[in-house]
């Protein structure tokens, strides 16, 4: 036994430092000394080392370190006995625990010094883990060692090799019952913290080195999650939690891993997991914990792309959220972004709401889900029953307002489709300034912001527009070109018309002249916020916001009938998008109150900066549509979310509207709502 001889010299060095006294210590020291040569002594020491005095613990670690310094050779790995020594030594290190290594600088340093040896063995043993690690000791060691690293010498977790081992440990083998460990990967990602951009680069490199695609990596997580939830009542919740945590990390790692995590197969897996958890009868602490993790993962995914919202809504998350929210709530009763199920469910609803602001298809997906929910009495009853007495109250409020907003949007989008309130535009050529349907204008190809009625107008205006247009850098061009802005802009024009009475009153109170008036609409919070300001304010920011320059150019262009158009700044997902909207009061005029509808208070969708609501006093097409839909739902014995109910209501409204417009002698414009 070559190793044993090597160790004996060390024992001689230390024998003189033995503390005289306590017989306990004497016998312990003997035991520790024997741990150099006798495996059963080492095991005994390991099992008790957590309760040793610090001095003895240091001694134990000395011995472990010597074992771990053994060089790797194939002979050793094939032989069962030396492998046992190494495993016991690795195990001993983790059993000393984080507390020991964190205690002082000396201990930290000795761990860091020993790390190359520990790592060398972790790496060597990973290769053969499926054959030898029948009892899962290696997996435990791997898990605990990375955890100690995280607290004691976190820098090593940034090394490519260390990350690579974590990835390989996670991937495991293709064998169904093969071992894998997810915690080391989680520890490495946690180490990046705010430096996620760096982390994502390294992770991509590591995946490449391991010859694993991001899809492979994520598919592995999904397959493992699916395998666990197939066990239903006997799910391994802790492992499930780890897996979903890993998925959440993959989402945050940007680039290929994010892309891989935002596929519909992943969304489907998460929603199915959530459903399985909610169906579980036993509300254990672990169950609540996993539910929190799933919700957080969904929320994280939602913040990346709106397309993800389709996937999860299609999979049916919407009808799961009320129940999930009642799982646990912030005890303070003031949900704020946090780990609790209720606050995360609220954050998810808020993300979905933003998606609904800019996407017709999204509203329709949600509508279909709500139809399912409210049609099935059983489900609706269970929704009400699960709404708890104490927690979930705030969620209910958010849910109710979301549902009301969806109804409003469903009606409004249908009206838009039927040609209601089409968008107008103005030719930017100052000698032309023609006003007309936006769909008929051409856009400046560079900024896509400035509109022209013809090529000749564009040519005539280029010498003046080019200065502002060329000042735009890529970032601002991107903001101006975002395609999802069409609907929010169109809605902004509609709502500004709708609330014009309040807007006029408020602007007078603020002393803003009508020709100076601009509006900032924030879709990031609900009720949405509408602030009035003097558009000259934006001129102060032109250095930083050259995109406002092209808008200012339009505003400077003319003083002619400024009441027809307005600068609107749309705030969405913390970004500000300037746009010009045209107001046309005819679209929000009162129409005849549909008979047999009950007047009720509208949902407050917009407030000003002081929290005062904007209200519409008139029975305009939107309100009439909502009231009629509710009436028809009762008549047709369907829910208001039913497609035919909504179509019937909006068709009736448009008919009535055209009729009244014609009575006024006005000609209803028939324009396409597409914005090409
Ligand atoms: Zn331009
Ligand atoms: Zn023109």
- Taking the CA of 477 as reference, the closest ligand is 1
Find which of 255-264, 305-314, 407-416, 425-434 is predicted with most confidence, using mean pLDDT: 407-416
The Å distance, Cα 455 to ligand 1 centre, comes to 13
The Å distance, Cα 521 to ligand 1 centre, comes to 24
Domain that holds residue 400: 213-406
Residue that is last in its domain, among 364, 383, 406: 406
Work out the average pLDDT over 318-346.
79
The Å distance, Cα 359 to ligand 1 centre, comes to 26
Q: Residue 233: pLDDT band by 50, 70, 90 thresholds?
A: confident
- Taking the CA of 557 as reference, the closest ligand is 2
- Taking the CA of 469 as reference, the closest ligand is 1
Are 192 and 274 part of one and the same domain?
no
The Å distance, Cα 444 to ligand 1 centre, comes to 5
The Å distance, Cα 103 to ligand 2 centre, comes to 77
Q: In the chain, what percentage of residues exceed pLDDT 90? A: 34
Q: Cα separations (Å) of 101 from 112, 305, 396, 530?
A: 10, 42, 48, 56
The C-alpha angle with vertex 274 and arms to 271 and 278, in degrees rounded to 5, equals 140
Q: Residue 669: pLDDT band by 50, 70, 90 thresholds?
A: very low
Residue 182 located in a structural domain: yes
- Nearest-angstrom CA–CA distance, 187 and 150: 6
Are 200 and 218 part of one and the same domain?
no
Higher pLDDT: 468 or 380? It is 468
Is 547:472 a contact under the CB 8 Å cutoff? Answer: yes
The Å distance, Cα 453 to ligand 2 centre, comes to 4
Q: In the chain, what percentage of residues exceed pLDDT 70? A: 85
Tokens linked to 249: 């990390």
The Å distance, Cα 445 to ligand 1 centre, comes to 6
Work out the average pLDDT over 410-426.
91
Are 55 and 196 part of one and the same domain?
yes
Are 182 and 327 part of one and the same domain?
no
The Å distance, Cα 449 to ligand 2 centre, comes to 15
The Å distance, Cα 307 to ligand 2 centre, comes to 37
Residue 173 located in a structural domain: yes
Are 40 and 136 part of one and the same domain?
yes
Work out the average pLDDT over 120-136.
83
Q: What is the mean pLDDT of the chain?
A: 83
Higher pLDDT: 375 or 625? It is 625
The Å distance, Cα 676 to ligand 2 centre, comes to 18
Residue 488 located in a structural domain: no
How high is the pLDDT of residue 538?
82
The Å distance, Cα 523 to ligand 1 centre, comes to 26
The Å distance, Cα 363 to ligand 2 centre, comes to 36
How high is the pLDDT of residue 84?
83
3-state SS track over 436-504: EEHHHCEECCCCCCCEECCHHHHHHHHHHHHHHHHCCCHHHHHHHHCHHHHHHHHHHHHHHHHCHHHHH
The Å distance, Cα 426 to ligand 2 centre, comes to 8
Residue 8 located in a structural domain: no
Residue 71 located in a structural domain: yes
The Å distance, Cα 484 to ligand 2 centre, comes to 26
Are 337 and 298 part of one and the same domain?
yes
- Nearest-angstrom CA–CA distance, 286 and 266: 22
What CATH code is carried by the domain that includes residue 255? 1.25.10.10
Q: Residue 20: pLDDT band by 50, 70, 90 thresholds?
A: very low
The Å distance, Cα 489 to ligand 2 centre, comes to 22
- Nearest-angstrom CA–CA distance, 236 and 241: 9
Residue that is last in its domain, among 359, 375, 406: 406
Are 186 and 39 part of one and the same domain?
yes
Residue 542 located in a structural domain: no
The Å distance, Cα 215 to ligand 2 centre, comes to 51
| Neighbouring residues of 305: CB distance < 8 A, sequence distance ≥ 6 | 262
> How many separate domains does the chain show?
2
Residue 276 located in a structural domain: yes
Phi first, then psi, for residue 614 (nearest 5°) are -90, 130
Are 161 and 246 part of one and the same domain?
no
DSSP labels, 346-381: HHHHHHHHHHHHH-HHHHHHHHHHHHHHHH-HHHHH
Residue 644 located in a structural domain: no
- Residues 174-191 have pLDDT tens digits of 666 678 888 998 888 888
Is 398:666 a contact under the CB 8 Å cutoff? Answer: no
Residue that is last in its domain, among 406, 427, 447: 406
Are 232 and 370 part of one and the same domain?
yes
The Å distance, Cα 486 to ligand 1 centre, comes to 17
Higher pLDDT: 241 or 583? It is 241
The Å distance, Cα 557 to ligand 2 centre, comes to 13
- Taking the CA of 553 as reference, the closest ligand is 1
| Neighbouring residues of 376: CB distance < 8 A, sequence distance ≥ 6 | none
Work out the average pLDDT over 363-380.
82
The Å distance, Cα 514 to ligand 1 centre, comes to 27
- Taking the CA of 443 as reference, the closest ligand is 1
Are 271 and 351 part of one and the same domain?
yes
Find which of 12-26, 49-63, 612-626 is predicted with most confidence, using mean pLDDT: 49-63
The Å distance, Cα 487 to ligand 2 centre, comes to 25
The Å distance, Cα 424 to ligand 2 centre, comes to 14
Are 180 and 290 part of one and the same domain?
no
């Amino acid at each position: 036994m070559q190793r044993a001889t090597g160790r004996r010299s060390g024992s001689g060095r230390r024998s003189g430092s033995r503390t005289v006294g306590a017989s306990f210590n004497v016998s312990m020291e003997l035991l520790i000394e024997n741990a150099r040569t006798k495996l059963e002594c080492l095991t005994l020491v390991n099992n008790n080392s957590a309760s040793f005095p610090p001095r003895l613990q240091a001694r134990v670690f000395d011995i472990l370190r010597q074992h771990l310094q053994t060089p790797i050779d194939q002979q050793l790995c094939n032989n069962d006995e030396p492998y046992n020594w190494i495993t016991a030594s690795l195990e001993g290190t983790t059993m000393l625990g984080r507390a020991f290594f964190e205690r002082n600088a000396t201990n930290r340093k000795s761990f860091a010094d020993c790390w190359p040896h520990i790592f060398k063995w972790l790496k060597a043993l990973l290769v053969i883990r499926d054959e030898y690690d029948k009892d899962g000791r290696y997996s435990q060691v791997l898990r605990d060692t990375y955890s100690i690293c995280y607290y004691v010498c976190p820098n090593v977790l940034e090394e490519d090799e260390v990350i690579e081992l974590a990835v390989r440990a996670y991937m495991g083998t293709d064998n169904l019952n093969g071992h894998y460990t997810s915690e080391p990967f989680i520890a490495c990602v946690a180490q990046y913290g705010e430096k996620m951009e760096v982390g994502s680069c390294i992770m991509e490199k590591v995946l490449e080195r391991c010859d694993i695609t991001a899809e492979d990596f994520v598919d592995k997580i999904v397959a493992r999650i699916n395998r666990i939830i197939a066990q239903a009542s006997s799910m391994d919740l802790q492992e499930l939690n780890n897996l979903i945590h890993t998925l959440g990390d993959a989402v945050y790692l940007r680039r290929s891993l994010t892309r891989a995590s935002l596929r519909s197969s992943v969304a489907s897996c998460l929603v199915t997991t959530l459903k399985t958890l909610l169906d579980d009868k036993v509300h254990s602490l672990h169950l609540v914990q996993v539910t929190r993790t799933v919700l957080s993962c969904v929320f994280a995914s939602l913040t990346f792309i709106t397309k993800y919202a389709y996937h999860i809504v299609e999979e049916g998350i919407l009808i799961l959220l009320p129940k999930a929210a009642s799982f646990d709530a912030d005890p303070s009763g003031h949900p704020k972004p946090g780990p609790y199920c209720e606050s995360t469910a609220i954050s998810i609803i808020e993300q979905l709401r933003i998606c609904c602001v800019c996407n017709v298809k999204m509203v329709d997906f949600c509508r279909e889900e709500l139809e399912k929910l409210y049609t099935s009495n059983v489900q609706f009853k269970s929704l009400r029953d699960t709404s708890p007495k104490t927690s979930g109250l705030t969620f209910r409020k958010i849910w109710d307002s979301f549902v009301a907003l969806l109804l409003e949007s469903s009606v409004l989008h249908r009206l838009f489709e039927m040609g209601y309130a089409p968008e107008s535009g103005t030719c930017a050529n100052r000698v032309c300034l023609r006003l007309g349907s936006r769909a008929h204008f051409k856009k400046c190809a560079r900024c896509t912001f400035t509109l022209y009625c013809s090529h000749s107008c564009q040519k005539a205006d280029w010498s003046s527009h080019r200065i502002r247009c060329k000042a735009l850098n890529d970032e601002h061009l991107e903001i101006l070109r975002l395609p999802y802005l069409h609907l929010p802009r169109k809605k902004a024009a509609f709502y500004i018309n709708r609330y014009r009475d309040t807007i006029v009153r408020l602007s007078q109170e603020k002393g803003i002249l009508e020709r100076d008036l601009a509006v900032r609409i924030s879709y990031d919070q609900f009720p949405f916020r509408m602030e009035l300001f003097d558009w000259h304010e934006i001129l102060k920011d032109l250095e930083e916001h050259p995109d406002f320059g092209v808008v200012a150019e339009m505003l400077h262009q003319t003083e002619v009938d400024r009441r027809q158009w307005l600068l609107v700044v749309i705030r969405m997902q913390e970004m500000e998008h300037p746009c010009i909207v045209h107001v046309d009061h005819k679209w929000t005029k009162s129409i005849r109150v549909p008979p047999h509808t009950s007047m009720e208070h509208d949902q407050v969708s917009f407030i000003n900066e002081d929290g005062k609501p904007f209200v519409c006093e008139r029975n305009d097409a939107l309100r009439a549509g909502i009231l009629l839909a509710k009436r028809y739902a009762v008549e047709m014995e369907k829910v208001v979310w039913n497609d035919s109910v909504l179509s019937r209501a909006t068709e009736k409204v448009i008919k009535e509207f055209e009729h009244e417009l014609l009575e006024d002698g006005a000609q209803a414009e028939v324009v396409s709502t597409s914005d090409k």
